[in-house]
Structure formats: structure tokens, C-alpha cells
């Protein structure tokens, strides 16, 4: 890629938000989080509707982010690209390359919307948090996008093949996914080679599909938690109660 192509890609990067310090977005790392603007999916439980539009102009310029990072060299371990859906951004690879050149580790939070783009950035990533939302056949009902399930599960295979640290995350509520389906999902993840699985309760707050806000907190039976824990080297449940 020529320098001018690099600059064009960077100039198209849209930043929807920036958190300068976070200790909760990647285990064991003090990270800054860059929220990239835009996502083509429409998950019923999405709590970031302000980050979905591709038309919205940048809240923060990439130059401002770089300046803030420059001031935090030596204080931060990692810069995590989140969203929205970072893989939807032209310029993600270039932005990651810049951040790595500054001496930071690179992290990615993704819903797995583009296997091709994930493959392109995996060599630059030190850690990836990938959402697997459902079994392949159930994805479109949740995301309202055809083929989203195929894309996400293909991304999972690429991530596991890359051999870098990761966690696979699923947002769960019994009214979205019966426990029997959750166990099938976990078994499929385990069979594919997932060793680190984080399950988190869907929280009914400002969801894209407003009726989900009225659902009761998700409760996961202790016996089910124990069964899931036995399937993975690392497992955690973050409840909604």
C-alpha cells in the first residue's frame, strides 16, 4: 500500500467515542478504547444505537485520539478498537498499524461481521474479544441481517486458527435463547476449539427493540453454570440480577 492510500484509508476512519483508561475491556491489560462509528447489523438487544449509523460524523477525530495516546505512552498497555463494528471500517488496519508503531498492544472487540477483514487484521492483533451471539441458523432473527451467522462463525474459525489470546462472548437471556439451545451453543464452541467463554446476561436497558427493556433480569441456574464451567478452561457468567 502506498503512503497516499494509507492516508486516504485513515482519513475515512470514523471515531464515535474514546475512553482513555479501562481495566475491564481486556483481562489483565490497562487499555484505551476507541469506539468506531457504524454497524450494519440491528441486534434486538443493541445498547449502542448511537454507534450504528455510518452517516454520523466523527465525535472525535483520529488525530485527537493519536494525541491522547501519545500523552499516555508508558501508562497504557493496549488500545482496543471497539464499536459499532470495527471490521466495517475502511482504515481499521491502518489505524491498528499506527497504534502498534507507537508501542501499544492492539485489541479488537468485534461481532464478526467480516471474515475477510478479520483475517487481514489478525496479524496485528494481540487480543480479540469476539461475540458469538447464537447458533448460525438463529442469527438473522436476532441481528436482522442475512448471513450474519455464517460470517460470525467463520470469523471464529479464523480467530482460533490465528492462535492469539481471545475470549468468546455471548449475551444471553432465556427469552432469547432457551437453556437447551445455550448448551448446544456451548458444545459447538467447545467442539470448534474454544477454551475461553464469557457468558453475560442481556440487560434490558435502552435496547434497540424497546420491549426487551421490560424483560426480567436473566437468571442462570447454578447447575447450568457448573456444566458450562466444566466445558472450558476459562468460563465466566456475568449475571443480570
Q: DSSP 3-state helix, strand, coil percentages of the chain (rounded to 5)?
A: 40, 20, 40
Please state whether the peptide bond connecting residue 84 to the residue before it is cis, i.e. omega within 30 degrees of 0: yes
Contact between 240 and ligand SF4 by CB under 6 A: the answer reads no
Q: Which is nearer to ligand SF4, 48 or 236 (CB)?
A: 48
Neighbouring-strand partners of residue 80 = 33, 107
Contact between 129 and ligand SF4 by CB under 6 A: the answer reads no
Q: Which is nearer to ligand SF4, 125 or 130 (CB)?
A: 130
Q: How far apart are CA 200 and CA 7, in angstroms?
A: 38
**Strand, coil or helix: 6:** helix
- Taking CB under 6 A as the rule, which mask of x and - marks residues 41-80 in contact with ligand SF4? xxx--x-x--xx----------------------------
Contact between 125 and ligand SF4 by CB under 6 A: the answer reads no
Contact between 149 and ligand SF4 by CB under 6 A: the answer reads no
- Best CA proximity match to 139, nearest among 53, 43, 46, 221: 43
CB-count burial class (<10 Å; 0-12, 13-18, 19+) for 132: buried
Contact between 39 and ligand SF4 by CB under 6 A: the answer reads yes
Q: Which is nearer to ligand SF4, 29 or 131 (CB)?
A: 131
Q: Dihedrals φ, ψ of 95, to 5°?
A: -65, -40
Q: Which is nearer to ligand SF4, 26 or 155 (CB)?
A: 155
How, if at all, do strands 15-22 and 31-36 pair? antiparallel
Q: Which is nearer to ligand SF4, 32 or 39 (CB)?
A: 39
Contact between 36 and ligand SF4 by CB under 6 A: the answer reads no
Q: Within 92-111, which residues bind ligand SF4 (CB under 6 A)?
A: 111
Q: Which is nearer to ligand SF4, 86 or 91 (CB)?
A: 86
Contact between 140 and ligand SF4 by CB under 6 A: the answer reads no
Q: How far apart are CA 235 and CA 110, in angstroms?
A: 19
Q: How far apart are CA 240 and CA 228, in angstroms?
A: 17
Q: Among 83, 86, 107, 149, which residue interacts with ligand SF4 (rule: CB under 6 A)?
A: 83
Binding site for ligand SF4 (CB under 6 A): 39, 41-43, 46, 48, 51-52, 83-85, 111
Amino acid at each position: 500500500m502506498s503512503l497516499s492510500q494509507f492516508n486516504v484509508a485513515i482519513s475515512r476512519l470514523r471515531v464515535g467515542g474514546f475512553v482513555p483508561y479501562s481495566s475491564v475491556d481486556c483481562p489483565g491489560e490497562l487499555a484505551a478504547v476507541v469506539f468506531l462509528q457504524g454497524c450494519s447489523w440491528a441486534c434486538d438487544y443493541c445498547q449502542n444505537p448511537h454507534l450504528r449509523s455510518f452517516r454520523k460524523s466523527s465525535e472525535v477525530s483520529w488525530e485527537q485520539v493519536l494525541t491522547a495516546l501519545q500523552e499516555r505512552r508508558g501508562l497504557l498497555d493496549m488500545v482496543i478498537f471497539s464499536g459499532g463494528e470495527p471490521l466495517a471500517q475502511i482504515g481499521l488496519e491502518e489505524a491498528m498499524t499506527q497504534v502498534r508503531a507507537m508501542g501499544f498492544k492492539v485489541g479488537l472487540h468485534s461481532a464478526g461481521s467480516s471474515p475477510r477483514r478479520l483475517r487481514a487484521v489478525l496479524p496485528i492483533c494481540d487480543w480479540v474479544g469476539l461475540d458469538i451471539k447464537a447458533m448460525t441458523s438463529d442469527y438473522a432473527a436476532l441481528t436482522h441481517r442475512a448471513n450474519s451467522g455464517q460470517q460470525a462463525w467463520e470469523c471464529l474459525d479464523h480467530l482460533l486458527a490465528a492462535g492469539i489470546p481471545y475470549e468468546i462472548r455471548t449475551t444471553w437471556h432465556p427469552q432469547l435463547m432457551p437453556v437447551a439451545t445455550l448448551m448446544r451453543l456451548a458444545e459447538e464452541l467447545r467442539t470448534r476449539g474454544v477454551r475461553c467463554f464469557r457468558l453475560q446476561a442481556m440487560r434490558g436497558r435502552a435496547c434497540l427493540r424497546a420491549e426487551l427493556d421490560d424483560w426480567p433480569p436473566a437468571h442462570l441456574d447454578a447447575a447450568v453454570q457448573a456444566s458450562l464451567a466444566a466445558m472450558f478452561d476459562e468460563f465466566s457468567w456475568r449475571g443480570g440480577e
